[in-house]
Structure 1
């Protein structure tokens, strides 16, 4: 396995870049965010990579950080999601945004990603929802989860719901939900009653 690569950017395409290291140019497919942060041709770059071995090809996929690579690995583990679809999904937002969509069961937003239809979006949510830890998302600070919702998530988990179920209940709260913990808890519990 090729876990990372450091080299000089030789070329940047729509969904790939070529990195030269040790006199060899590696074609590396990458999400849009990685490509836009890559810099100009001739600049140095470091990428976390995954080598996908197929019968007819050895393909490298590169990521700017381990969070992207980890999410990519989770996504390609979903039945029917290959590397190209996983890259498309990673190009739609940050890893935390994608994880939030999955944890919140936001099938509609996932289905808007090019190449991912409603059935694939539902499969992604079904297979990965329980594997996304909502409390870690909230702690990362990169999502728009308030302290109140973090506390609400902890209460729901202590009541026996999974972190993914808590995330879905919180995501279902209306944007004009009352700012009190008690009211938000009542609305979240109502979500479970209607599910």
Structure 2
């Protein structure tokens, strides 16, 4: 499983980039947002990735943030949403917009993405509402530009701080700061401990 790539941007296309990692070029499918963010050919880039293996293909999808990758995984858990459709959704909607759309059950907002019809949009907002959970109630920007779907360590850490009496925004910002420092692989225990220190400063 390839979890991330760090190298030089060698080529770009309308929906992909080629990352040169010590002489090996990896073709990675990207959302329009990530493609814009990685800049020009020759730039050093770091992408988080998700690898999908099928009988006829092995495909790498790349993301500029953990939030985008987590949303990709959530979206592709919905029947009828493949990797390319999920990238189209992430091109049309930023993570905080997705939180809003799903929290409000706004299928028209999701249907703005290429390849997403009304029926699929309705299924997406219905199936993901419980997985997004209380983050939709916090409103846009509650976790900065990287809202974290329910079920992740970050979401559990936000819940833990809220249970200790911290306001939702304070808890969310402290957890985001802790995750930025510790990285995506941090344990829940480490995340809560560091978030508590940051929230009490």
User: TM over 0.5: same fold?
Assistant: yes
Distance in 1 separating the partners of 2:145 and 2:3 = 26
In the TM superposition, residue 99 of structure 1 has moved relative to its aligned partner by 2.0
Name the structure 1 match of 2:36: 36
The alpha-carbon distance between structure 1 residues 8 and 73, as it changes in their structure 2 partners (threshold 3 A), is: same
Note the alpha carbon deviations across 1:30-66, whole angstroms, 9 max, x for none: 1011000111101100000000101111100000000
Residue 134 of structure 1, aligned match among 108, 113, 136 = 136
Per the alignment, in what secondary structure is the counterpart of residue 114 of structure 2? coil
Name the structure 2 match of 1:82: 82
Note the alpha carbon deviations across 1:156-180, whole angstroms, 9 max, x for none: xxxxxxxxxxxxxxxxxxxxxxxxx
Name the structure 1 match of 2:120: 120
Name the structure 2 match of 1:162: none
In the TM superposition, residue 140 of structure 1 has moved relative to its aligned partner by 2.2
Moved over 6 A (4+): none
Give the CA RMSD over aligned residues.
1.5
Per the alignment, in what secondary structure is the counterpart of residue 91 of structure 1? helix
Any gaps of 5 or more consecutive residues in structure 2?
Answer: 147-201
In the TM superposition, residue 23 of structure 1 has moved relative to its aligned partner by 1.2
Count of equivalent residues = 143
In the TM superposition, residue 17 of structure 1 has moved relative to its aligned partner by 0.2
Larger radius of gyration: 1
Any gaps of 5 or more consecutive residues in structure 1?
Answer: 144-195
Asked whether 1:24 is paired with 2:27, we answer no
Name the structure 2 match of 1:73: 73
C-alpha contact 2:95 2:145 (8 A) present in aligned 1 = no
Distance in 2 separating the partners of 1:142 and 1:40 = 23
Normalised to the residue count of structure 1, the TM-score between the two structures is 0.70
